[in-house]
């Protein structure tokens, strides 16, 4: 009764101690203000909306209602798990029936309301359940997600694909995106790395025309072809073979970076072939530059299997990204770092990613050399457990097979 008759007095009596030295004016007129303009104003017995989580904690539903307690985190985890699985807004009733039988529906409803005020959940309709926000997915991936394990069948499938093609790096690259897409049911994207630490195993020259030669460079992971260099028209086949031998001796066992740093004028036996050496260096520099030819994708049509993409405009936005090699390259080149898993949810400031999408990537290595960056792009309501498990295991198996074969 006291609160109903004098709401302002009740408010001040209960919460005045929590304020930062509020300056009170016109108390009896139902007005309350703070000189620093941080808190709120009572006017006509109405309270303005609080602007920060800390203010809602003080003036909302109790001092603990806005803290992200362990119980709130657990409930949020269940909400995200269930929504990823069903694509249906999650209600307090379903949480009680599936996960929290020892907690009342009323308590769960209060916790869901608090999570909504904190920005982790949204309610599409007053009578519907709640769905996770982008912030909820970020917290889920970083703290709440339970690590998944792949089945023996999935692991055997990965091993078989890579064992069959391990001697052909180009096929490995294509199969990596294919494997990831098949196991995750999302669109997979990838880009081949050009690691300057990659070592050269042999160099071969083949005359193509009187004034040009084809250069084949075999590295520890791949065969570099389609490189043509200029040679003197007067050069005989015997001289070209001699130049090949000198170049092979100079490059064998060295990395791209080391070869590009060599100074041929210091080698007496190389003076006659300096221009050829410089042409080979230019070919290596071209190879080390990432282009859209290094981009591979798989499973572009899998996006149609997800209910979020019943909207034609969303499909168009998605396809405009994954069918553009330039856009995919921009997304993946920035991820070509020494990290295992990188997750971008809801664009995260990346213009190339549609706001309703997430991108999960991993950078793979073998024998200390970067092979490339691969991942999946799909709806924010993504099965992050499965995706992360697939990316991690593909990387481990790929590295193990290539290292054992010495490819």
CA distances from 91 to 133, 181, 209, 222, 306 (A): 15, 32, 73, 53, 21
CA distances from 202 to 193, 244, 257, 286 (A): 20, 10, 15, 18
pLDDT digits (tens, 9 = 90+) for 42-68: 333 333 333 334 344 333 444 455 688
Tokens standing for 93?
Answer: 């009733």
Least reliable range by pLDDT among 27-31, 64-68, 210-214, 403-407:
27-31
pLDDT for 335 equals: 57
Look at the block and give the residue holding tokens 């209910």: 307
CA-nearest of 406, 402, 385, 364 to 177 is 364
22-31: average pLDDT: 35
Confidence of residue 221 (pLDDT cuts 50, 70, 90): confident
pLDDT digits (tens, 9 = 90+) for 229-245: 888 888 889 989 988 99
Contacts of 20 (CB under 8 A, 6+ apart): 34, 36, 38, 39
Least reliable range by pLDDT among 18-27, 201-210, 332-341:
18-27
Tokens standing for 210?
Answer: 């009187």
Confidence of residue 72 (pLDDT cuts 50, 70, 90): very high
Contacts of 131 (CB under 8 A, 6+ apart): 83, 89, 90, 121, 122, 123, 124
pLDDT digits (tens, 9 = 90+) for 171-197: 777 789 999 999 999 999 998 887 777
Confidence of residue 271 (pLDDT cuts 50, 70, 90): low
The answer to whether 201 and 192 are in contact (CB under 8 A) is no
For residue 317, give the H/E element and its range: helix 312-322
Confidence of residue 154 (pLDDT cuts 50, 70, 90): very high
Tokens standing for 301?
Answer: 């049509």
Would the pTM count as exceeding 0.75?
no
Confidence of residue 269 (pLDDT cuts 50, 70, 90): low
pLDDT digits (tens, 9 = 90+) for 335-356: 555 557 899 997 665 667 888 8
Least reliable range by pLDDT among 21-25, 90-94, 114-118:
21-25
Look at the block and give the residue holding tokens 């010495």: 406
Q: Is 170's pLDDT higher than 60?
A: yes
202-211: average pLDDT: 91
CA-nearest of 177, 193, 188 to 359 is 188
pLDDT for 25 equals: 34
Average pLDDT, the chain: 79
pLDDT digits (tens, 9 = 90+) for 291-338: 777 889 999 999 999 998 888 888 988 998 898 888 888 888 765 555
């Amino acid at each position: 009764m006291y609160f109903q008759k004098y709401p302002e007095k009740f408010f001040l009596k209960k919460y005045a101690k929590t304020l930062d030295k509020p300056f009170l004016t016109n108390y009896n007129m139902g007005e309350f203000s703070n000189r620093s303009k941080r808190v709120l104003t009572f006017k006509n017995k109405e309270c303005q909306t609080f602007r920060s989580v800390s203010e809602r904690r003080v003036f909302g539903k109790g001092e603990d209602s806005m803290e992200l307690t362990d119980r709130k985190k657990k409930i949020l985890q269940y909400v995200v798990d269930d929504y990823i699985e069903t694509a249906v807004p999650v209600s307090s009733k379903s949480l009680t029936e599936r996960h929290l039988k020892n907690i009342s529906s009323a308590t769960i409803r209060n916790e869901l309301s608090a999570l909504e005020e904190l920005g982790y959940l949204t309610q599409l309709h007053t009578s519907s359940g709640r769905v996770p926000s982008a912030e909820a997915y970020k917290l889920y991936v970083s703290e709440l997600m339970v690590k998944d394990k792949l089945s023996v069948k999935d692991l055997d499938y990965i091993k078989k694909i890579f064992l069959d093609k391990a001697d052909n790096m180009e096929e490995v690259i294509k199969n990596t995106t294919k494997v990831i897409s098949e196991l995750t049911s999302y669109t997979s994207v990838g880009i081949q790395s050009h690691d300057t630490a990659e070592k050269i195993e042999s160099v071969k020259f083949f005359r193509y025309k009187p004034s040009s030669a084809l250069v084949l460079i075999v590295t520890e992971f791949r065969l570099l072809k389609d490189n043509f260099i200029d040679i003197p028209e007067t050069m005989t086949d015997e001289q070209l073979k001699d130049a090949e031998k000198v170049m092979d001796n100079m490059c064998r066992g060295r990395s791209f970076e080391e070869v590009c740093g060599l100074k041929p004028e210091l080698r007496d036996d190389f003076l006659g072939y300096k221009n050829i050496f410089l042409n080979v260096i230019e070919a290596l520099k071209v190879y080390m530059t990432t282009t859209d030819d290094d981009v591979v994708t798989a499973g572009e049509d899998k996006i149609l299997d997800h209910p979020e993409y019943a909207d034609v405009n969303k499909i168009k936005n998605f396809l405009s990204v994954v069918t553009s090699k330039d856009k995919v390259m921009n997304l993946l080149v920035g991820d070509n770092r020494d990290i295992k898993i990188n997750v971008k949810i809801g664009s995260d400031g990346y213009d190339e990613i549609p706001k309703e999408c997430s991108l999960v990537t991993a950078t793979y290595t073998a024998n200390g050399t970067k092979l490339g960056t691969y991942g999946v792009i799909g709806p924010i309501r993504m099965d992050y457990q499965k995706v992360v498990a697939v990316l991690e295991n593909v990387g481990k198996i790929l590295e193990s097979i290539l290292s054992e074969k010495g490819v």
